[in-house]
Structure 1
Amino acid sequence: MTIPPCTPFPEEPVMPPYDEPRGTAALLVDSSGRYLLHLRDANKEICDPGTWSIPGGDREGEEPAREAVARELWEETGLAVPLEEFTVVDSVGPGGAKGRIRVYLGSWDGDADALPCPEGIMFRHFDAATVPFLTMCPWTKDVIALHQARFPARVPLPARARPGGRARPHVVGVHLYLEENGKVLLGLRHPDSAFAPSAHHFPAGHCEQESAVACLVREAREETGLVIDRAGVELVHVVHTVDHAGGQPRMGLVFRAHRWTGTPEVREPDRCVSWDWWPVDALPERIVPYARTAIEGIRAGRLYTELGWT
């Protein structure tokens, strides 16, 4: 029997056409041509410490690169967006170890400030003109330069003259209103909290890749240990806020839970130092302003309030 030359012998392993890079990364660009960049920790034994880079990480075991980049993007940003292969770049890790990174391209128009940041320092959007002035991860700078060569930044069209100005996505916050015997549950924020230090507030959080009620149930469990019965939840107030002209607009959804189990306890001591029941007609002096407005609206039977808009 003659074996065709293109057919390997059964005992010989079939090798892949090339070694798949261990690293993956996602270059996300918004509709204005800005790049979503991640500021990496400066004092850790990691690749390119203290530089601006893009989300990503290594494959786990034999995990395909496409699955790895989707997982890493979700873990670092909470985003799940369509991605397509873009390029492969060389990188240098701690100790001079060389590697390669497969980069994927996607688009996202959200608010970088609202992204969770479990790793690194922060996320920000930057346009192509600003990138050269940043302390950049070398391979990320190469990726952006390649993207610019293939897709030059468009000159933005002037915004149409309309009261709303340019479109800007809103941050959606979900808040839990629990009332028992004429008292409402409020938490005292930690004095070092980035938001509302030493002020009282509802159990609350930002909607991630989930429904508003799912967010409510999750945040209540994470912050207070309470288990909320989804079937006993109703929307009782909406607060549409902006802190200042041109500031980040926010939509606060306040849900009342009529059934729950457990006793409130401090689950996130770095954010909240205590949970207490306050009479609805004798609220604490220091309370987040829109939380006070929402409670007043609920007592008045009003569903919607605007704050800060002119």
Structure 2
Amino acid sequence: MTHGTTRYRSVVDVMALLHRADGRVLLLRRAGQVYASGQLCPPGGHLEDGEPVTGGALRETAEEVGVTVAPSDLEFCHLIHHRNPDGEARLGVVFTARRWTGRPSIREPEKCSQLVWADPARPPADCVPYTAAVLKRFCAGDPLSEHGWPAGGRG
């Protein structure tokens, strides 16, 4: 590292795409005083200090929709480097799970008003743009995308 250069740091988001047998994935309608209130996104959130990405995805899924995913049923599927309109960058680590224990339900009503099973190949128009980008690239089989960066990125 060159003297005077600041090391890049980023918030890390973790997301879990819970897949039903019919191929639909679970999305949550965000509600209340949260980012993107009224829009849809998968269960997820930011990684906590000292937490591995798999642990964060398992924790967020349990906290938000009340299901338990065995670590062996969690599979990495996508990495997205996102930059929001304000210029804040985030790395999103996305996992998929086809098996879990429990029935998904709203566990944080102050942050979520509805659960929606959606076709990931045709996400609802009211998805968080970050989520729509993840679903588009995931369905294309791409393990990496960039969203919100100047032209020339991957996605």
User: What TM-score do you get using the length of structure 1 for normalisation?
Assistant: 0.45
Native 8 Å contact 1:229 1:257 kept in 2:
no
Indicate the residue corresponding to 1:263 in structure 2. 103
AA of the residue aligned to 2:81? H
Indicate the residue corresponding to 2:153 in structure 1. none
Find the partner of 2:71 among 219, 224, 230: 230
| Rg larger in structure | 1
Indicate the residue corresponding to 1:168 in structure 2. 8
C-alpha separation in 1, matches of 2:39 and 2:117: 14
AA of the residue aligned to 1:256? T
Indicate the residue corresponding to 1:125 in structure 2. none
Q: What is the SS of the residue equivalent to 1:223?
A: helix
**1:234-274 Cα distance to aligned partner (Å, 9 max, x none):** 111111011247x3220000001132111111100010011
**Structure with larger RCO (C-alpha < 8 A, sep 6+):** 2
Indicate the residue corresponding to 1:144 in structure 2. none
1:191-202 matches, within 5 Å, as 192-202=32-42
Native 8 Å contact 2:123 2:135 kept in 1:
no
C-alpha separation in 1, matches of 2:81 and 2:26: 22
AA of the residue aligned to 1:255? F
C-alpha separation in 2, matches of 1:281 and 1:300: 9
**1:48-76 Cα distance to aligned partner (Å, 9 max, x none):** xxxxxxxxxxxxxxxxxxxxxxxxxxxxx
Q: What is the SS of the residue equivalent to 2:108?
A: coil
**1:81-103 Cα distance to aligned partner (Å, 9 max, x none):** xxxxxxxxxxxxxxxxxxxxxxx
Find the partner of 1:184 among 25, 36, 52: 25
Work out the percentage of aligned pairs sharing the same amino acid.
33
Q: What is the SS of the residue equivalent to 1:284?
A: coil
Native 8 Å contact 2:27 2:115 kept in 1:
yes
Alpha-carbon offset, residue 300 of structure 1: 0.7
Find the partner of 1:219 among 38, 50, 60: 60
Tell me the C-alpha RMSD between the 2 structures.
1.7
AA of the residue aligned to 2:117? W
AA of the residue aligned to 2:55? A
Q: What is the SS of the residue equivalent to 1:292?
A: helix
Q: Where has structure 1 moved over 3 Å in runs of 4 or more?
A: none
AA of the residue aligned to 1:288? V
C-alpha separation in 2, matches of 1:279 and 1:258: 14
In structure 1, the gaps of 5 or more residues are: 1-157, 161-165
C-alpha separation in 1, matches of 2:112 and 2:85: 26
C-alpha separation in 2, matches of 1:253 and 1:233: 12
Q: What is the SS of the residue equivalent to 2:15?
A: strand
